[in-house]
Structure 1
């Protein structure tokens, strides 16, 4: 089962050590001269010359390795990954400091050398835009114009039609499958999430959906890596020996051509016969034409924002649905209970509509519990310290990358009873929610950089899950027991040069 792409990947020490002499003379002297700087830094594990703490991340997913390190070194920990200084928050109190108390100090995003290749200054979308007036204006467009409750509701017919397509695909695959062959639900969920999100964003299904999904998967893996130029930004040689700049530029060219063709088609439609504003891209183009923003909305920024929505809208929903179904297959008691609820609410009805979802209280607990165990982005998206500040009495220097290990916090037995077990009832008599006020549970982040598309993503998850459980009975392939289901998170490809 694939987890959403993490911000940092598991880095292999051996390839890195092989090129340490190439990097050493270009970077170490400058790094050592500035290290510490008289600050009282957060505690760190033991480090090695040049590579710092990279070896502590070898052989494990980064959020797992960082959880284990935090147990020994505290809820606020400082790591040095090559030249990068990374602070990791691993407790609710530490998360509150980062995302609420000092949210303004940690409100911007770090831009690595590779990310900057893809997003030159002034072209960033809502995900990577630096904190400031321009970001606030873009965020307002997202929350008021693109992702408001009213706008999300307007795409109800799209969601219901795409869910019907999904159900027909599952039924056809199940009928065609031999008894020994399982239906690939994960693949179908990915296609559904892509089609549903894309129709809301551009108003139609993609003719080249498979190409888009391949490009999306590749892009997520590229952005999840921290490569040599990212780890050693002061080293020219690291840039020269790395293959990543070429790969990033090729991805940028392909993604740009893909999105530009879509934007051009919509511009031509507007200049021609016109039409109703029935998708998010048309909304952005209308705002651009009106031209009454403090910071004009460039076509480059529209392209990036559309790409952000493509990635966030489809990948998050598909991953969440895959984890939910996997957990239900492993927990037959919960499966029976949630199916009984849905079928009682819908008794006598032929189809599931969004009007009935509010009465499915236990199903919503199932979704919340799955997000606790499997947050879409386990380390959330990285922040960067804008000004040197204090957290827990420690100094966090300006320019430090800051990660919140939401996965570790939501599985911490200090705050969760039977933390590793799937128990939706734990949310039954509590007001803990994912709206950014409960820092032991922040699957979508909190504060200024909290995910603005929660309602958009959950609408797809809720309707789809209710339909899957209402119309089908689910079982594992012949001979497989619940305990045999592989729940291992997939590790994004290891670092390469």
Structure 2
């Protein structure tokens, strides 16, 4: 009796298994000797990928209960270390900030940005330092942020006007949808000098964020060639190409419009105006050349960092207040007592509203928009808690887990704005148990811009309306589940739909 040949699928499995074993042995032989953080058991090829779940920040938090505040993981062919305590975050972001401030150059970043000299994703060096200096001084200084106050107030006014129509009919409004429209209006006017209408622009930015925040199959698989085939067959490469072309065309159109000789210039310079003026003068204090590609890169980062984060924070703040009517009443009384019979809350009024500011802080603690900070890449060797961190290692900080750690926070799962009363803790990167915007050289430069928009919108929503849940719903019925959507940010899973009741002083 003749022997039958192996079935093709079995031959493929045997080949891949043998290849994996050889590659694993090669990687083990090449791996530097040292003391590495503990790691959960890995599966062949995918490593720890199966342990991430739909909400990685929660999966990593659960793993930290077993393995400690510093964990080593393998995502296919990618090695990453996760930080889950304030002490280890301080060691990384303060003590070893300079040694770990590179941004990993993933395939998606290289493909999507092409020749955009992308400040958020470029390696740490002279160019990155100079561009960041320009952003901090010219684009996001407090003086510049305050100059955009009329834009924020106008867009918030439009938000209130749109809700008044629903209040007159007694119908529920989708605050998730309204908040996205608000932040899109504010940021597009600040960046481009005009507002973008419709959902297409927000969807394009969200898709770019999803691509930049994820990895391709060629990075996961030990054999990049196989991964590239999978990326091509899955349509990922075509998707990267399409998104880049659309963003590039959009930004180029905006720049061309700004350099048109007969353009009617608005009263307030937008970000493109500022950068184009700098490109002409090339101020002596800066050594880099501002090109059109540089401008596109900066615009991309502004939209990636600011479009979703502000709207997410506003929605979570309102959801927590709707769920806790006593806290909402306390906030409304503070605002209404301060304003009297005036028609709107202005940014100057916000400074007289300490409880409102506590609400925003507590929302950022409990619901940080990006629960895992953007990965950092180690530049030179260092140790944290005796563990070795070698160059090219990726490191992420789980700020969601730190914000809910009972070691640092009493009743961490409760929404208690009063915990910030008479407290100096803020979100500007100096308090490592509270890091919604990160810290060190990679801290978000647009903190002031984002927080001011959220505070102004929240104050006006609470001043102009009383809020109730739709008929038949109770506070305990309000769904507070999270979803990761397409990107690294975390949304409220179900849209926040509430009924506004107009308040007349």
Q: Report the TM-score when normalising by structure 2.
A: 0.89
- What secondary structure is seen at the aligned counterpart in 2 of 1:474? strand
Distance 2:19 2:109 in 1: 23
- Per-residue deviation, 1:49: 2.0
> What residue is the counterpart of 1:187 in the other structure?
177
> What residue is the counterpart of 1:11 in the other structure?
none
Is 1:482 equivalent to 2:475 in the alignment? yes
> What residue is the counterpart of 2:492 in the other structure?
none
- Per-residue deviation, 1:34: 5.0
Tell which has more relative contact order, 1 or 2 (C-alpha 8 A, sep 6+): 1
TM-superposition CA deviations, 1:69-103 (whole Å, max 9, x none): 11111111110111111010000011001100000
**1:117 alignment partner, one of 96, 99, 111:** 111
2:279–2:290 contact (8 Å) kept in structure 1: yes
> What residue is the counterpart of 2:144 in the other structure?
151
- What secondary structure is seen at the aligned counterpart in 1 of 2:428? coil
> What residue is the counterpart of 1:280 in the other structure?
271
- What secondary structure is seen at the aligned counterpart in 2 of 1:464? helix
Is 1:253 equivalent to 2:245 in the alignment? yes
Distance 2:264 2:414 in 1: 56
Is 1:69 equivalent to 2:59 in the alignment? no
RMSD: 2.4
In structure 2, stretches of 5+ residues that fail to align are 1-11, 489-505
1:114–1:244 contact (8 Å) kept in structure 2: no
Q: Report the TM-score when normalising by structure 1.
A: 0.90
> What residue is the counterpart of 1:264 in the other structure?
256
Is 1:45 equivalent to 2:40 in the alignment? yes
- What secondary structure is seen at the aligned counterpart in 1 of 2:308? helix
Is 1:225 equivalent to 2:220 in the alignment? no
Q: 1:250 to 1:29 in 2, by over 3 A?
A: same
- What secondary structure is seen at the aligned counterpart in 1 of 2:468? coil
2:45–2:222 contact (8 Å) kept in structure 1: no
Aligned length: 472
Distance 2:14 2:431 in 1: 44
Is 1:239 equivalent to 2:228 in the alignment? yes
> What residue is the counterpart of 1:12 in the other structure?
none
1:125–1:302 contact (8 Å) kept in structure 2: no
Matching of residues 340-351 of structure 1 within 5 Å: 340-351=333-344
> What residue is the counterpart of 2:376 in the other structure?
383
Q: 1:259 to 1:39 in 2, by over 3 A?
A: same
Q: 1:257 to 1:24 in 2, by over 3 A?
A: farther
Q: 1:494 to 1:140 in 2, by over 3 A?
A: closer
| Larger CA deviation: 485-494 vs 310-319 | 485-494
- What secondary structure is seen at the aligned counterpart in 1 of 2:449? helix
Q: 1:456 to 1:176 in 2, by over 3 A?
A: same
TM-superposition CA deviations, 1:314-360 (whole Å, max 9, x none): 21111110110111111111111111101111112121111111000
**Which structure has the larger Rg over C-alpha atoms?**
2
**2:281 alignment partner, one of 283, 290, 300:** 290
- What secondary structure is seen at the aligned counterpart in 1 of 2:71? strand
- Per-residue deviation, 1:30: 7.5
> What residue is the counterpart of 1:392 in the other structure?
385
Distance 1:482 1:423 in 2: 16
Q: 1:143 to 1:274 in 2, by over 3 A?
A: same
**1:472 alignment partner, one of 465, 468, 475:** 465
> What residue is the counterpart of 1:202 in the other structure?
192
